[in-house]
Amino acid sequence: MRAGTGRSAAPERGGGADLVGVLLLGACAGWALITAAGREARPEGVLLAVLAVAAGYALGRISGGLVPVAAATAAALTGLVLAYVSRDGVPGATVDPLPGHIGVSAALPALAAGAACCGAWAARTAASRLALRLLAAGCAGTALALGSAAGCAASLGVLLCSLAAARMRHRALALAGLAAVAALVAVGSVAVAEDVLPDGLTVALEGQLTPERVLLWRDAVDLTEDNPLRGTGPDRFGGLSPTAQRSAPAAGKPHSALFQQASEEGLVGAALLVSTYGWVLYGLWRSPRATEAVLTAGASLTALAALACIGNALSFTPVTMGAGLLAGLATARPAGDGPLEREKNLDVVRTGG
């Protein structure tokens, strides 16, 4: 994740991304309070998620600037440990109980794989790089051992994207491709909920997602249509969804961050959630880190975005904090990277070296 030289280095273009992030996270917290006003709603969960992202991002920026390899390695190992012990009741990290769960056991290994691969790109020796990539492969094995095929696939996908990033010359194009992947998953989930897909495809997807999850999504769509602006209020989906009331494993959640935001905080809340992902990609585009590390983090966070569209991943504090931490690691300015060094990087990029 060091700035490096050559085509993989990109100068940071001011502090605009940080300002956007502050305003956006503040808007997320403020809108949660607005949608909760005058209702028996509980915005604490949203506020905690915003705080976790901000704290993780700050920690990532600080540690990533000082000890990028050690910080990335520690983040990856911590993520794996939390994923493994989550089934024993780590606070805020209980495994999603729905059949075919796509929760913390999928999200944390994907984030851990991203951190390990980012650390590999910052490492100075071949042995260190190999060890960290083996750790990333171990993340996939951990997810599989936890019974999460989605987490295994996501972790392997992050590792493969990280290796392929060495051949990418333009980070903007690659980040746009990652955004398109996340958008495709989001649009696909909405299409399933709206029941606009061909019957055969709908049946196949429902078999993977489980019919109960699809019914929860359709309840969320109905609630959003009834309350398109302010939604029903934070943490009120469980009391208003007929499917959630009949199903104890649903735990009062639609098991999709996108549908949860839309139903509880209206279309504005959903737009803020999508904008947060956009801000992360924007920050990665402006990052002074090597393009390989930037695209690795982008792939990991895109995997999380996809998992959050079809699962309950963002309902867990370790996941939201881990996402902020990885984003911070991938956008941290290396220690000693002053104006002279950034100007040298800029000259390298301009000359196409």
Amino acid at site 180: A
Q: Which one is predicted more confidently, 15 or 294?
A: 294
Which residue's entry shows tokens 């493969």?
Answer: 160
What mean pLDDT do residues 24-46 have? 95
Whether 350 maps to a domain, the answer reads no
The pTM (predicted TM-score) of the whole model is 0.89
Q: Is the pLDDT assigned to residue 325 strictly greater than 60?
A: yes
Whether 349 maps to a domain, the answer reads no
Label residue 146 by pLDDT band (50, 70, 90).
confident
Tens of pLDDT along 171-204?
A: 999 999 999 999 999 999 999 999 898 888 888 8
Q: Which one is predicted more confidently, 341 or 320?
A: 320
By CB neighbour count within 10 A (0-12 exposed, 13-18 middle, 19+ buried), where does 99 fall? exposed
At residue 249, the pLDDT reads 60
Q: Is the pLDDT assigned to residue 250 strictly greater than 70?
A: no
At residue 97, the pLDDT reads 47
Q: How far is the C-alpha of 335 from the C-alpha of 353, rounded, in Å?
A: 23
Sign of torsion over alpha carbons 224, 321, 153, 147: negative
At residue 329, the pLDDT reads 97
Range of the domain at 191: 6-335
Label residue 211 by pLDDT band (50, 70, 90).
confident
Q: Tell me the percentage of the chain whose pLDDT exceeds 90.
A: 68
Q: Is the pLDDT assigned to residue 206 strictly greater than 90?
A: no
Label residue 10 by pLDDT band (50, 70, 90).
very low
Which residue's entry shows tokens 């729905």?
Answer: 98
Q: Is the pLDDT assigned to residue 14 strictly greater than 60?
A: no
Amino acid at site 114: G
- Least Cα distance to 120 among 138, 134, 139, 141 occurs for 134
| Residue 175 CB partners (closer than 8 Å, separation 6+) | 281, 284, 285, 294, 295, 298
Q: Is the pLDDT assigned to residue 260 strictly greater than 90?
A: yes
Q: What is the 3-state secondary structure (H, E, C) of 65-98?
A: HHCHHHHHHHHHHHHHHHHHHHHHCCCCCCCCCC
DSSP codes of every residue in 332-343: PPPTT--HHHHH
At residue 13, the pLDDT reads 52
Label residue 232 by pLDDT band (50, 70, 90).
very high
Whether 322 maps to a domain, the answer reads yes
Q: How far is the C-alpha of 106 from the C-alpha of 297, rounded, in Å?
A: 16
At residue 11, the pLDDT reads 46
Q: Are 138 and 77 in contact (CB under 8 A)?
A: no
Whether 67 maps to a domain, the answer reads yes
Mean pLDDT of the chain: 86
At residue 101, the pLDDT reads 53
Q: Which one is predicted more confidently, 340 or 17?
A: 17
Q: Is the pLDDT assigned to residue 154 strictly greater than 50?
A: yes
DSSP, res 196: -
Label residue 9 by pLDDT band (50, 70, 90).
very low
What mean pLDDT do residues 213-219 have? 93
What mean pLDDT do residues 211-225 have? 94
Q: Are 325 and 75 in contact (CB under 8 A)?
A: yes
Whether 352 maps to a domain, the answer reads no
What mean pLDDT do residues 288-301 have? 96
Q: Tell me the percentage of the chain whose pLDDT exceeds 70.
A: 85
Two tokens, residue 157: 């996908």
Q: Is the pLDDT assigned to residue 90 strictly greater than 60?
A: no
Label residue 92 by pLDDT band (50, 70, 90).
very low
Q: Are 80 and 110 in contact (CB under 8 A)?
A: no
Amino acid at site 291: T
Whether 163 maps to a domain, the answer reads yes
At residue 345, the pLDDT reads 41
Whether 284 maps to a domain, the answer reads yes
Tens of pLDDT along 53-73?
A: 999 999 999 999 999 999 999
Amino acid at site 328: G
Number of domains making up the chain: 1
Whether 117 maps to a domain, the answer reads yes
